[in-house]
Amino acid sequence: MEKISLANLPTPIVKLEELSKEYGKNIYLKRDDFTGTEVSGNKVRKLEYAIAEAIENKCDTIITVGALQSNHCRATSAVCAKLNLDCHLLLRGEDLEVEGNLFLDYMLGSNIHILREDRDLEKEAIKLFNKLEKLGKKPYIIPMGASNKIGTYGYIEAFNEISKYEEKEKINFDLISMAVGSGGTYSGIWYGNYTNKTNKKVLGFSVSSSSVEFKEKIMNILKEIDNNIEKFDSVEINDLYVGEGYGKSNREEIEFYLHVAKTEGIILDPCYTGKAFRGLIKEIQDGNIKEDNILFIHTGGLMGWTKEQRNMAYKIVDERS
C-alpha cells in the first residue's frame, strides 16, 4: 500500500517508571503524540495512506468530518496546507468559541462548515462532494478519524514498529491498549497482532459509543482488509470509562490527569488518551488486568483541553496550593 511520508516515525517507546511502581505493572507508553506538532497524534499515520490515495487519484480537494475540536480534522487541515490541497471540514457541534483545534483549523486555511448535532456527517459530506464536483473540483472524502481500510494501514505499520522495539529491547508486551474513538487505530493494531500470530491482548477503551457499536465497526474495517478472518472473539472494547460523555470530564478524571502529569511529566488529553489510560489503570487496580508488560499508545490530543476543563484543573491545583 502506497503512502506519503508526513509523520516523524518511528515514535519512541518509554517506560513509565513511577506509575509502574505505583500500580505494580511494567507500564510503557508509545509516544505517538510525537509524530509531529500540527499533524501530531495517531491521525497522521492514517493520513499518510489516505492522502497518498487522494494524490494518486489526482484529487485536489479533501473533505472530512468530525467533532468541533476534532484532532483528525486539525491534522487534515495541516496536511492539506502543506501539500496545497483545498480542505473542507464538516464539524458537528454548537459551542462556537474559537479555540484549540478549531482555531488551528481556521489558521491553517480550511473551509469550515459547522453543523448541528443532529446532522448526518456522512450524508453531508456526500452532498458537499457532489456540489464541489459540479464546480469543477476533484474531491476526495476521508471518513471520521480516517478510520477505514486505507487509514488502518497506518497502525499495521505501527504494530511492526512495536515488534522491532520488542526484539531490540528483549521484551514482550502482553497487552497493548489505546483509546477508541472511531476504530481505525485499534483495527490496525489488532490486525498486526493477528497476522504476526503474537497472541497479545489488544484492549481498547471507548471514549464515546458502546462496546457493541465499536466492535461492529472494527469488524467491518477488518473484513475490508481481509475477508478471510473467521473469528473476532479477541476484539475487546471496554466502554465503562466514557464518563459523562464524549469530550466531557468530571473532577475525578481531571484529578487523575493531573496526577499522571505531576508523576511522569506526561500530558494526557481529557477526550481520548485521558479516559482510556484512566480506564486501564482502574482495571489494573480492580485486578482485571492479569498481564504484566503493558503498552499504552499515546495518540496525542493536547489541544483537546477545553476552557471548561482547563478551569477545572486550575481550580483543583489552586485548592491544593
User: Which positions are annotated as active-site residues?
Assistant: 70
* Per-residue cell: 168: 531490540
Half-sphere exposure of 156 (CA within 13 A, CB side): 20
User: Amino acid identity, residue 59?
Assistant: C
Radius of gyration of the chain (CA): 19
- Phi/psi of residue 207, each to 5°? -110, 5
What CA–CA distance (Å, rounded) separates 282 from 294? 14
Residue 270: which region, alpha, beta or left (left: phi > 0; alpha: psi -120 to 50)? alpha
Q: Is the peptide bond before 10 cis (omega within 30 degrees of 0)?
A: yes
DSSP state for residue 7 in the 8-state scheme: S
Tell me how crowded residue 172 is: count the other CB atoms within 10 A of its CB: 13
Tell me how crowded residue 23 is: count the other CB atoms within 10 A of its CB: 16
